[in-house]
Structure 1
Amino acid sequence: MSWFTALRDTARAGLTVDRSLTNPRRALRGAVAAALVVFPALFLYGPAQATSAAMGAFIAGTATFQRSFRPRASLALAAAAGLGLSTFLGYVAVGIPGAFPVVLALWAFGAGLAWAIGPTAGVVAANTLAVMMVVVQLPVSVPTAVEHGLLCSVGGAVQALVVTVWPIDSWRAQRDALADIYAGLGDYARRLRHDPVAQVDPEPFIVGRQAARLTARQARRRPPELRGLRTIAERIRPALAALADPRVGAAEEGAERDRAREVLAAAADVLDALARAIRSGDPVRLPRDTPGLALARPGSGEDLLRGAARRSARRLSGLLGRAADRLDRQDRTTVQSRTAPTATATGLRRPPLVKVAPAALATVGRQLHRHSAIFHHAVRMAVVVTSAYLASRLLRIEHGYWAPMTSAMVMRPDFAQTFSRGVARVAGTAAGVLLSTAVVQLFDPGDWVLAVLAVCCMGLAYLTMRTGYAVMTVAISSYVVFLLGLQPGDPVRLAVDRVSMTLLGGFVALAAYALFPTWQTARLPERLAEWLASAGRYAAAVFGAYGDPAGGRAEREVRPALLDVREARSEMLAALDRAEVEPVRHSEQVPELSRKQFDKARSAVGMLDRSTVLLEAHLPGEDAPPVPGAGAFGEELRDATALAAAAVLLGQDVDFTLLREAHRTWDHQLAALPPDDRIDVVRAGARLVMQALTELERAVRTRPQPAHPEPVPLGA
């Protein structure tokens, strides 16, 4: 993609306006919390202190709107602590000659590293950096720095208190995450009717697992209908895939395939009904006519599904029935004890923020090396913000802090977000500053009117968080202008300075990324290698469970391996999406692996992943006899895929000759055993795995090699 096309597309994305709005009640709650801080501070202390308190209240309120499954109050408190510390350090440093640029650079570097923890931490850290640059412009002496820092923290604490006493849709994020899983499975079932080897989107499952991690307080208050349904959904996915795939499920054509399509269509309708019930909290209303699922049950008349396909259909029917029964049973429960054993004895646990701090610091520490994209972003952030600040000081512009503030709010670890937000920030800030300055110039409002206008703009910013970054920036810039309007100065001169400094800060941020980029295209082989290695561990765990059913491997090894491969695939797809909009050629960034080779290799790893899912759908119970040699083959597979991942990363050839020989030997051993559906499924799954690895071997081949024989057929 050319630079012109990339810049045009990212600019268009940044200026896109969505008609959706944030929940108005939540926006009103955030504005009320800000008002509870601004007006008392203005009455008791004055404009400067009211500005610090307002900044703390607004940024802490912004943290409660981020995509996070932690309690909103804890997010506000964490933001308040960061805001108070940044405000205090800024006030202290600004009074020492030459100290503030050093503190600013160090804080900017830390804010960039915060992205290693997650997007929420990165956004909040960038906001604390912006607040540091704004509030230190207010006239204040060093002895009162503690007072301003405390007021900034109090603003965030009030947000946390209001969120606690005025809960709104407390479980909306968890409900939506769980409902998205079932809605995604419904869509997956429909696609399988026409494409039996379709892939499922892993993102809803990853988000759903994050949503299921609860603090102790959340676990005691979790709605009963949110318990246990995610585990059922995890088992529905392989059952759908195993039924649809003609290699281990229903026949490719004929009456059995038609019956499988009926079952999949009925399952999709049931999954949609479950998703609606979970999202709304209303009783589940299943479709009245589900003949496909009825025919999948034993003893229901002529059943055209046979063998493994029949087992998959019956398992699918049973899982859907369990999900519906669980929702129906919870609907009939009128009293739910907060200390019920089911609320605290099961599920994932999310430790409190204080206990997470050591792990977060360790995560950040692992990014401190020159090959880390997060480290590159942190260095870029520190250099750009400090350079913009020093440039504004050299130009002797009174309100030059808008330049580094714009740079801090614009910069993101990837190209697309940085450039789209840069365009949106410049456009929104210019519009907001001009509009609010015109209001101040024309009507000359007093301090209390300016405070009211600032609070209204905060509420508008909360309300338009989903509308678009440009629109939200208009409201943010307006509230900052109204707050700073409490200080003396010429409004027209202030407007010119703010717009020019916004342009300067945006230009510096975009130029820095263009000159010192971190292209995701260059990291695609790394993401592919991580996915391949995790897919190999997942397949090895599944074969190990066949080899030792009584050892509990299905829960101890298969489950964690599935989560790893799902996350690796999601990260690879996210990197690919970001790489698609970068203005660089794939051949220049990854000369050892062409784009055609990468796409073929990605398809082969996806086939390996899917083949393992089909095998997982038929995992034996703990009382089932072991499959001879399955565990040993799994170990060979794990080692071979790990070596292949290293070869992909280094741009070398992949060689599965030893694994292919091990598979032939093992398959001949299984062929000599008495006929058994379970053995047939394992042999078919192993053959699919070897076909996928053979395709991978061909995809990344760098030089001509003799063709390898195809894996042995199932009936050999």
Structure 2
Amino acid sequence: MSWLRALKETARSGFAVERRRLEPAGAARGALGLALVVGFSLALFGPAVAVSSAFGAFQAAIATFQRSWRPRPVLALASGGSLAVSTFLGYLTGAHDGLFLALLLLWTFLAGLAWAAGPIAGLIASSNVAMMLVTVTLPTSVAAAAGHAVVIFAGGVVQAVLLVLFPPRRWGAQRDALADALAAEADYARRLRHDPVAPFDPAPFMTARNAAAVTPRQARRRPAELHGVRGLAERVRPVLASLADPAVGVPPEGPERARVRELLAAAASVLDAVAHAIRHGEPVVVPAPALAALRTPDTGAVLGGPPRRAARRLAALLDDVLETVGPDAEVSDDAAAARSRPTLLRLAPVALAEVRAELRPGSPVLRHAIRLSAVAGVGYLLGAALPFGHGYWAPMAAVMSMRPDFSQTYARSVARFGGTLIGVGLATAVVRAAHPGTYLSAGLAVLCAFGMYLLMRTGYAVSQVCVSAYVVFLLGVVGQGGDQTVRERVLLTLIGGVLAMLAYALYPAWETPRLRGRLADWLEAIGRYAAVVAAGYADPAGPADPVVREALLRTRDARVAWQEALDRATHEPVRHRGLSHAAVEQAEEALGEFGRVAMLMEAHLPDHGAEPLPYAAVLAESLRRSTERGAKEVREREDPAWDELRGTVGAWSREPPDHFLLHKGAVLLLESLDDLTTALTASARSHRGPSGGS
């Protein structure tokens, strides 16, 4: 993609407005907390303290709207506490330009590294820097720094208390995540009726798995219906695929296919009913025809072989699902401890380890931290040198716009400029026309905050209109900012956005050159998954073998990393560096088919104690070594070869083993890997061109 097209695409993305479900109750709760903090502080301590406390309550409420599985009061306290520390240090050094600049450089560098711990940590850290730039310009003494920090933290405490008194739907996010996963599986079952090899996106299950991790305190209060269902549903998915796939034994048409379609429709109805019950906390109501179809006694007469085993396993698994969410469901200790989430205190060493892991050359997070620190310092110096006053608008715009990837940085920079242009223009017009006093300015700031909370998920540009107006009115509470014109504020914001965009262009962290590495990681992970499945035939441990489960999860993580990298690379103004668009599509299709075949093999894993198949161990080892070697060749820009696996499959073809599915699965796995090689070979040739140059 050319630079011109990349800029057009990111600008369009930045100004995009999406239709999202609004949360007026949550927005009103956040605005109420802000109003209580500002009103109380104004009445007792005056405008300067009120503004400090307002920033704490404002940011704490923003943190509670982020997508997180932690309790929202905890997020509010963490946001308020971290902002209090940042502002306290800013006040201590604010009177000395050199010391404050050094603190700013250090704090922005640490804020950039915080993205290694996750997007919420990165967002809170970046917001702390932006708020610190504003609050330290307010008139105060060093002796009052601790007092300002306390009231900022008090703003977070108020938001946390309101969340406890007026909580959102209890376990609503976890219920929705699990229900979405079950609904996605129901949709998958319906699609299999018409497309027996339909793909399945595991993203809803990965989200549900993240939601299932709870702290010890949450584990004691989690509803029973949120235990165990996800694991059972995970085992249902490969059974659905194997039941529908003609390669397993059911012909494309005829009475057997009709019975399979009936079973798939019944499974979809059961999964939809369970999803509805979990989402709304109601008893499960399954349509009687669906239960009758699953329990009809003549299924064994119509189906035979692997399809009959799959049908019986499907009915048994769905019965287990219904028992798990039933009124008499009990939670075992093992299920309760299956997914644990550390508390914030115990999370600190984990986050530090993740940050240390990013302190290496070439790390995108480290590059982001360096860019962020440099841009904040340059923006601060430029803002101070220009004769506009309140020069913090420039570094604040840069810090809040920058992200570790190209598309978000450029989209947010453009959107922030547009939103600031409108928000500052409207707010400044109101200030100059109405000359609002202290209390009216505070009320207008609360109103803008309500608008921001309500609309923040519809688009960044929309939220920036409200945020810019909020800052103008809040500064009006202490009589500051009235001397600045719209032109000066917008110009400083434009400088900050340009600095952010220029920094990424000069010191980028492009994802495009790393695509082959991401593809190799996926190949290696999915190869290990297939090898573990094949080994399950040589040493039967049953369909619920945790080793298979762990291998599948690593495969999903690698696939998600590949897809996220591909999404980022799509908008980068960088050549494909050896992976053309056609090669990407063909490689994805090949590895997707490889994973589907491995999933079919997983669906028919023998029960624990069944007769072992020694030749499956040969296949497992061949798969593992071949895919590891192939991944290494992909990283080194060589064409992967599958000679060892081809030899194993060829030997079986001359003297086939006594297991239809395992032998056919090995053949299909090899064909998928050959398709991957074809895609990469064609891409390399097109990249070199007819003359062999790049």
TM-score > 0.5 by shorter chain: yes
Q: Which runs of 5+ in 1 are unaligned?
A: 674-678, 705-716
Shift of 1:669: 6.6
Q: 1:669 to 1:81 in 2, by over 3 A?
A: farther
Counterpart selection for 1:685 from 661, 665, 669: 665
Which stretch of structure 1 is more off in the superposition, 574-583 or 55-64?
A: 574-583
Q: 1:683 to 1:435 in 2, by over 3 A?
A: same
Q: Quick check: 1:382 aligned with 2:380?
A: no
Letter in 2 for 1:689: L
Q: 1:42 to 1:195 in 2, by over 3 A?
A: same
Q: Quick check: 1:54 aligned with 2:54?
A: yes
1:631 aligns with 617
Counterpart selection for 2:533 from 532, 539, 542: 542
Q: Is the 8 A contact 1:283 1:328 kept in 2?
A: yes
1:327 aligns with 325
Shift of 1:343: 9.6
2:393 aligns with 402
TM-score between both structures, scaled by the size of structure 1: 0.91
Q: Is the 8 A contact 1:400 1:497 kept in 2?
A: no
1:714 aligns with none
Which stretch of structure 1 is more off in the superposition, 448-457 or 215-224?
A: 448-457
Counterpart selection for 1:555 from 541, 545, 555: 545
Shift of 1:166: 2.2
- CA–CA distance in 1 between the matches of 2:241 and 2:335? 33
Give aligned pairs, total. 684
2:356 aligns with 365
Letter in 1 for 2:338: G
- CA–CA distance in 1 between the matches of 2:53 and 2:308? 65
Shift of 1:213: 0.2
- CA–CA distance in 1 between the matches of 2:616 and 2:426? 70
Q: Deviations over 1:119-175 (max 9, x none)?
A: 111111111111111101111222222222222222112222221232111311101
1:118 aligns with 118
- CA–CA distance in 2 between the matches of 1:606 and 1:154? 51
Shift of 1:457: 1.9
Counterpart selection for 2:638 from 632, 652, 656: 652
Q: Quick check: 1:180 aligned with 2:180?
A: yes
- CA–CA distance in 1 between the matches of 2:288 and 2:7? 52
* Aligned residues: CA RMSD: 2.3
Q: Quick check: 1:414 aligned with 2:405?
A: yes
Counterpart selection for 1:661 from 610, 634, 647: 647
Shift of 1:87: 0.6
Q: Deviations over 1:360-395 (max 9, x none)?
A: 111111111122122222211112222111111121
1:29 aligns with 29
Shift of 1:96: 2.3
- CA–CA distance in 2 between the matches of 1:647 and 1:637? 15
Q: Is the 8 A contact 2:543 2:607 kept in 1?
A: no
Q: 1:483 to 1:107 in 2, by over 3 A?
A: same
Q: Deviations over 1:440-480 (max 9, x none)?
A: 22222221222222222222211112222122111111221
Q: Is the 8 A contact 2:518 2:558 kept in 1?
A: yes
- CA–CA distance in 2 between the matches of 1:46 and 1:666? 84
Shift of 1:21: 4.4
1:640 aligns with 626
Q: Deviations over 1:530-553 (max 9, x none)?
A: 111110111121122221124x79
Q: Deviations over 1:687-714 (max 9, x none)?
A: 222222222233334889xxxxxxxxxx
- CA–CA distance in 2 between the matches of 1:683 and 1:413? 46
- CA–CA distance in 2 between the matches of 1:616 and 1:341? 26
Letter in 2 for 1:195: D
| Mapping 1:131-150, distance limit 5 Å | 131-150=131-150
- CA–CA distance in 2 between the matches of 1:365 and 1:178? 33
The share of aligned pairs that are identical, in percent, is: 48
Q: Is the 8 A contact 2:299 2:308 kept in 1?
A: no
Q: Is the 8 A contact 1:410 1:425 kept in 2?
A: yes
| Mapping 1:513-552, distance limit 5 Å | 513-550=504-541
Q: 1:105 to 1:666 in 2, by over 3 A?
A: farther
SS of the residue corresponding to residue 630 of structure 1 reads helix
1:190 aligns with 190
Q: 1:249 to 1:477 in 2, by over 3 A?
A: farther
SS of the residue corresponding to residue 485 of structure 1 reads helix
Q: Is the 8 A contact 2:642 2:673 kept in 1?
A: yes
1:237 aligns with 237
2:414 aligns with 423
1:697 aligns with 677
- CA–CA distance in 1 between the matches of 2:159 and 2:479? 29
1:708 aligns with none
Letter in 1 for 2:36: L
SS of the residue corresponding to residue 412 of structure 1 reads coil
- CA–CA distance in 1 between the matches of 2:6 and 2:342? 42
Letter in 2 for 1:411: M
- CA–CA distance in 1 between the matches of 2:20 and 2:598? 40
2:256 aligns with 256
- CA–CA distance in 2 between the matches of 1:470 and 1:358? 36
Q: Deviations over 1:194-243 (max 9, x none)?
A: 32222211211111110000111111111222121111111111111111
Q: 1:132 to 1:6 in 2, by over 3 A?
A: same
2:282 aligns with 282
Letter in 2 for 1:488: G
Q: Is the 8 A contact 2:428 2:472 kept in 1?
A: yes
Shift of 1:492: 5.5
Letter in 1 for 2:272: D
1:468 aligns with 459
1:566 aligns with 556
Q: Which runs of 5+ in 2 are unaligned?
A: 686-694
1:455 aligns with 446
Shift of 1:88: 1.3
- CA–CA distance in 1 between the matches of 2:642 and 2:315? 39
Q: Quick check: 1:170 aligned with 2:170?
A: yes
Q: Quick check: 1:161 aligned with 2:161?
A: yes
Q: Is the 8 A contact 1:547 1:629 kept in 2?
A: yes
TM-score between both structures, scaled by the size of structure 2: 0.93
1:596 aligns with 582
| Mapping 1:435-514, distance limit 5 Å | 435-489=426-480, 491=482, 493-514=484-505
SS of the residue corresponding to residue 347 of structure 1 reads coil
Shift of 1:358: 0.5
- CA–CA distance in 2 between the matches of 1:402 and 1:354? 34
Q: Quick check: 1:312 aligned with 2:310?
A: yes
Q: 1:594 to 1:435 in 2, by over 3 A?
A: closer
2:689 aligns with none
